[in-house]
Amino acid sequence: MSLTRRIVIAVFPDVDLLDVTGPAEVFALANRETGGAAGYRVQLAGPVAGPVTTSAGVRLVTDLAFAEVDGAVDTLIVPGAVDPHPDGPVARIDQDVVTWVKAAAPLARRVASVCVGAHLLAAAGLLDGRTATTHWSTAAQLAADHPSVRVDPDPIFVRSGNVWTGAGISACMDLALALVTEDLGEEVALAVARQLVVYLKRQGGQSQFSVPLSRPPSARRDIDELRMFIADHLDDDLSSAALAARMCLSERHFARVFRRETGTTPAAYVEAARVEAARRLLESTDEPLDRIAAACGLGSVETLHRALRKQIGTTPAAYRRRFRTTA
């Protein structure tokens, strides 16, 4: 007799469409991959039962009104919505959702937010004293509005007890796959990932974006071109002196310009780019550490160890065990 796992996803006007449909598809595929043994049953709940227009203009139809959700809920999923603003998107706080989540969450086995849905969990008091993530563009808003929440804008998702928070948009798939892993194990989750043709599974500790994307474009095209050169030539001589010579600037003036445009020193930027490349190789290959260190311009295994400990607080072997993504 299969176990029924009831998944209730909150839906409200202008909700982000993928935040709702992405996890629902993951759970549906888990049912298919297990011949129905996964037992997932997804329901959409909203302020009222009936059609709801999402941010994409596509309408969803809720199964239940919030007031009609009774009985046991295995997983409560709270997606988000944003309002445009000249300074960037602002997470919308829908009070109907907040009120319902506050009442429904204690009755659920676990609660998860998708993207800016973390703001709704925080408004309901569910993130107080916890570490949480959200879409990088609203992380500062979440931290400012809720000082008791430890906001980490970098990970794809964060688990704190029975509360999960996911990062922006497509990371909803990674979060849902992690929930499937918890329920059914790694093998089923990987089978679902293959059906979705996604990058098997990015784990929660991985970054939302790469080093070149972590800073906005600079005001100088030559600095942006240099950043791309660094990414493509990690095993070259990328000392400040070599980069300054490439820019036809004195080393001191180059260091000032680079820091002004990127917010960091040339040496720190290069090391971060090399560590990111090393992480990708650790995740996706069985290459020995000395070859990875050489390919990424870190030179030696000792330097690779030191750089990973400095950047992400772990060793190459420990990182590879946790984040290995291929058989």
Which of the pair, 22 or 313, is modelled with greater confidence?
22
Weakest mean pLDDT among 97-106, 195-204, 277-286, 299-308: 195-204
Evaluate whether residue 49 is within a structural domain. Answer: yes
Which range of residues forms the domain containing residue 58? 5-196
Task: Answer whether 45's CB lies under 8 Å from 70's CB.
Answer: no
User: Which helix or strand (DSSP H or E) is residue 243 part of?
Assistant: helix 240-247
Mean pLDDT calculated for residue range 147-161: 90
Which of the pair, 63 or 218, is modelled with greater confidence?
63
Decide which of 162, 181, 196 is a domain's last residue: 196
pLDDT at 320: 83
Evaluate whether residue 216 is within a structural domain. Answer: no
pLDDT at 150: 93
Decide which of 196, 212, 242 is a domain's last residue: 196
Same domain (yes/no): 40, 183: yes
Same domain (yes/no): 153, 17: yes
Percent with pLDDT over 70 in the chain:
91
Which of the pair, 238 or 218, is modelled with greater confidence?
238
Evaluate whether residue 315 is within a structural domain. Answer: yes
Q: Assign residue 257 the CATH number of its domain.
A: 1.10.10.60
pLDDT at 208: 52
How far apart are alpha carbons 327 and 319 in whole angstroms? 16
Residue 82 has pLDDT above 90, yes or no: yes
Looking at residue 105, what DSSP letter applies? G
CA 10 to chain centre: 20
Same domain (yes/no): 183, 232: no
The token pair at 109 is 């086995």
Q: How many domains does the chain have?
A: 2
pLDDT at 220: 77
Residues that are catalytic: 115
Same domain (yes/no): 228, 177: no
Q: Assign residue 36 the CATH number of its domain.
A: 3.40.50.880
How far apart are alpha carbons 118 and 80 in whole angstroms? 8
Evaluate whether residue 202 is within a structural domain. Answer: no
CB atoms within 10 A of CB 222: 14
Q: String of b and e for 107-117 (b: at least 16 CB within 10 Å)?
A: ebebbbbbbbb
pLDDT at 126: 98
Of 116-120, 152-156, 316-320, the range with the highest mean pLDDT is 116-120
Evaluate whether residue 290 is within a structural domain. Answer: yes
Residue 209 has pLDDT above 50, yes or no: no
Residue 326 has pLDDT above 60, yes or no: no
Same domain (yes/no): 58, 101: yes
Mean pLDDT calculated for residue range 50-60: 96
Evaluate whether residue 188 is within a structural domain. Answer: yes
Same domain (yes/no): 124, 231: no
pLDDT at 213: 44
| Confidence band, pLDDT 50/70/90 cuts, at residue 224 | confident
| Confidence band, pLDDT 50/70/90 cuts, at residue 201 | very low
Same domain (yes/no): 183, 264: no
With 0-12 / 13-18 / 19 or more C-beta atoms within 10 angstroms meaning exposed / middle / buried, residue 13 is: middle
pLDDT at 211: 53
- As a 3-state breakdown, the chain gives helix, strand, coil percent values, each rounded to 5, of 45, 15, 35
Of 117-131, 143-157, 264-278, the range with the highest mean pLDDT is 117-131
Same domain (yes/no): 152, 234: no
Bridge partners of 163? 111, 160
Task: Answer whether 201's CB lies under 8 Å from 174's CB.
Answer: yes
Q: Which residues contact 144 (CB under 8 A, 6 or more apart)?
A: none
Q: Which residues contact 233 (CB under 8 A, 6 or more apart)?
A: none
Evaluate whether residue 215 is within a structural domain. Answer: no
Same domain (yes/no): 20, 169: yes
Average pLDDT, the chain: 89
Residue 142 has pLDDT above 80, yes or no: yes
Task: Answer whether 58's CB lies under 8 Å from 18's CB.
Answer: no
Mean pLDDT calculated for residue range 147-174: 89
Q: Which residues contact 11 (CB under 8 A, 6 or more apart)?
A: 20, 44, 45, 46, 52, 60, 62, 79
How far apart are alpha carbons 23 and 32 in whole angstroms? 14
Same domain (yes/no): 185, 225: no
Residue 134 has pLDDT above 80, yes or no: yes
| pLDDT per residue as tens digits for the range 283-312 | 778 899 999 999 999 999 999 999 998 887
Same domain (yes/no): 104, 251: no
Same domain (yes/no): 103, 250: no
Decide which of 196, 211, 244 is a domain's last residue: 196
pLDDT at 200: 47
Residue at 93: amino acid letter: I
Evaluate whether residue 105 is within a structural domain. Answer: yes
Residue 258 has pLDDT above 70, yes or no: yes
